[in-house]
Amino acid sequence: MYQEIIKQREYNPQTVKNKSICVRHIRRGLGSHTMRSIRPHHLTTAIRSFLPDRAPTAQRVLDELRDVFSEAVANGWMDLNPALHVRRPAAKVKRQRLTLEQWQQMRTLAAAGSIKWLEPMLLLALATGQRRADLCKMRFDDVSDGYLHIEQQKKAGKPHGARVALPLSLRLDAVGLTLGEVIELCRFYAKAGPTLLRKKNGAAFERPDMLSYRFEECINKIGTWLRGVRPSLHECRSLAERLYRKQGIDTQTLLGHKHQSMTDRYNDDRGLSVGEWKRLVLTT
């Protein structure tokens, strides 16, 4: 019944998939209970089964439980939502931020490698600060009137994702290129195709998983990482935010965030700058 409700909400396919995974976890942990018999301590026990190694999963499952029981209350199957009384588990962030030096090492490897779209991907990810799904669907005809127009796929409960127009003159000083120059570099590494990132034969990537796979393959060549610590492709988004913010660029608009507090999370370098001297700059 709840999965039918999910389908009626018109989520994108990835969101439906993620929610379905949570529902499977819920069934495995609570399937022996009737809905009306479930109490907060039952939920706490089920949530703890994911801790401490999978705290983000525990958080997602609790969010889904709250929604499940809200629907149950709304439909008259229960009187109260027991999940509202369960404390949200804290997730300790382990994944390291990507540094500019690491990104530069990866770019050097990518430029010398056989996968010709890897270097353009690294450049595009850093120049735009966008998510991998948005990188996949960027098209040459998204460029008009001097801007790259991006409708982000992540909707976050809205009818459409954030709509961001990035000027082709946007320059990332750390790599010495403008966005327009990066887009031009995307024209010639493979057969012609509609998308900026594409396979050797010019075909678009159907799923963003391949981008992440090649990124991980490349970053593994520049260092040895503990489990859960290695920076992911998504960390290019944080690196872009930190680099552009130093230039005085409006990174909240760049990343498509509704709230500055979310952008500030990307600015947190998770200890990379510990020990550095913060210099006070005097203005005249």
pLDDT one-digit tens code per residue, 221-249: 998 887 778 999 999 999 999 999 999 99
The Cα–Cα gap between 248 and 258 comes to 19
More confident residue, 156 or 77: 77
| Residues paired with residue 143 on neighbouring β-strands, in sequence order | 148
| Residue 222: closest CA among 135, 93, 113 | 113
- pLDDT, residue 16, reads 84
**Quick check: 130 pLDDT over 70?**
yes
- pLDDT, residue 53, reads 66
- pLDDT, residue 101, reads 97
The Cα–Cα gap between 128 and 240 comes to 7
What are the catalytic residues? Answer: 131, 154, 234, 237, 257, 266
Give the number of other Cβ atoms within 10 Å of residue 150's Cβ.
21
Residue 42 phi, psi dihedral angles, 5° rounding: -65, -45
pLDDT bin (cut points 50, 70, 90) of residue 41 is very high
Torsion of CA 193, 198, 199, 202, to 10 degrees: 0
- pLDDT, residue 82, reads 94
pLDDT bin (cut points 50, 70, 90) of residue 52 is low
Alpha carbon 48 to chain centroid distance? Answer: 25
- Block residue for tokens 């960027």: 138
pTM: 0.75
Q: For a pLDDT cut of 90, what percent of the chain falls above it? A: 71
Residue 270 and residue 134 in contact, taking contact as beta carbons nearer than 8 Å: no
- pLDDT, residue 37, reads 93
What residue ranges define each of the domains in the chain, with the CATH number in brackets? 2-85 (1.10.150.130), 100-267 (1.10.443.10)
**Quick check: 187 pLDDT over 80?**
yes
Who contacts 198 (Cβ-Cβ below 8 Å, separation ≥6)?
A: 117, 190, 191, 204, 205
57-99 pLDDT tens trace? 888 999 999 999 999 999 999 999 999 999 988 766 568 999 9
Note the residue count of the chain. 284
Give the number of other Cβ atoms within 10 Å of residue 268's Cβ.
14
| Residue 116: C-alpha distances to residues 112, 120, 169 (Å) | 9, 8, 25
